[in-house]
Amino acid sequence: MTVAYAEMQGFPIGKWKGGYFDGRRQLKVAWLEAAALLNALENTSWPYSDGPNSCTPSEATIRPFPGCQQRGSGSLASYEYALVDVLYTTRGPRWINNQKVTEDINHFAKACPVRPEGKLFWNDGTAVTNNVILRENGLQYDITFNDLTSMPSAVTDYCGYANSNTVTSLTLGRSFAPETLLYVGPKVTAVYSWGHLPRYNVKYSFHYWPYGHNKVFRPGVGYEYIYNGTGETKSRVYLCPLTWMGF
């Protein structure tokens, strides 16, 4: 649906500050089409050349157009025109490939018991006989897609899987080698669009481990794959099944 509207005199207004861009538009639209206009603007970017196309709408206010008289005698107000005040900003999700995307890198840690296997010793040369705790410190990589029209099946289908391919982040400039990202689960929030339609904010969380999630620590050696059997008939044990991952 195409909605007819007009930019008001004196607008738009754009402002750069601290590496961020904020913009403001005032639009005149028929009163009964104000919600449709918001729905049309929701997944768009700043249309003027003074700001980046990664600047997206963040807030809107609808009010009667100045000078318009209330029409009708019903219990709900009605006017001929509405004035829609729309704020845009780069503070928040970035507009990439027609998607609102946020990426974060944080820290995670886990503790793993390790059998010494005759490879670990105390300072005096005595062999360590009890299990020791190996503390592994890695990174948690989160990517969030905002305002999706449906919830992807990957949200629930691939928990516990690792990446079979190199994965490149969309905003952070990082690439993750195969088997180094473990999908540990999602966070899904159901919201509404500006046009009153259901939307989903979906965050995928991954644990990044540079040695690979299918390798196990071997005392005296480091991280290695483990196998079923020996010799020519041996096959790798996949502690985490693999799947292609991409954004």
pLDDT at 5 over 80: yes
What pLDDT was estimated at residue 10?
A: 96
Radius of gyration for the chain, computed over Cα atoms and rounded to the nearest angstrom: 27
Q: Which of 67-71, 118-122, 192-196, 231-235 has the lowest mean pLDDT?
A: 192-196
Query: In this predicted model, which residue has the larger pLDDT, 128 or 11?
Result: 11
Q: What angle (nearest 5°) sits at the alpha carbon of residue 92, between those of residues 90 and 95?
A: 65
Minimal CA–CA distance to 185: which of 159, 157, 163? 159
pLDDT of residue 188: 94
Q: Of residues 44 and 83, which shows the higher confidence score?
A: 83
Domain with 23 in it: what CATH number?
3.30.70
**Tally of structural domains, the chain:** 2
Give the separation between CA 158 and CA 140, rounded to whole angstroms: 17
Cα 194 to the chain's mean position, in Å?
Answer: 20
Are 88 and 124 in a shared domain? no
- pLDDT tens per residue across span 195-210: 677 889 999 999 999 9
The average pLDDT across 22-40 equals 93
108 and 225 share one domain: yes
155 phi, psi to nearest 5 deg: -55, -40
Q: Is residue 106 domain-shared with residue 69, that is, in the same domain?
A: no
- Asked if 212 and 159 sit in the same domain, the reply is yes
* Mean pLDDT (whole number) for 230-246: 89
Are residues 204 and 88 located together in one domain of the fold? no
- The arithmetic mean of pLDDT across residues 76-88, rounded, is 92
226 plus 131 within the same structural domain: yes
- What average pLDDT does the segment 130-143 reach? 86
Whole-structure pTM value = 0.76
Range of the domain at 40: 5-92
Q: Are residues 239 and 136 in the same domain?
A: yes
From 41, 75, 92, give the residue that closes a domain.
92
Of 52, 70, 92, the domain-final residue: 92
Whether residue 73 sits in one domain with residue 44: yes
d(CA 236, CA 226): 6
Sign of CA dihedral 36, 37, 38, 44: positive
Residues 134 and 41 both lie in one domain: no
**3-class SS at 32?**
helix
Report residue 25 CA to chain centroid gap. Answer: 27
Residues 38, 74 within the same domain = yes
pLDDT value at position 211? 92
* Residue 181, C-beta contacts closer than 8 angstroms, at least 6 positions apart: 141, 162, 163, 167, 206, 207, 208, 213, 245
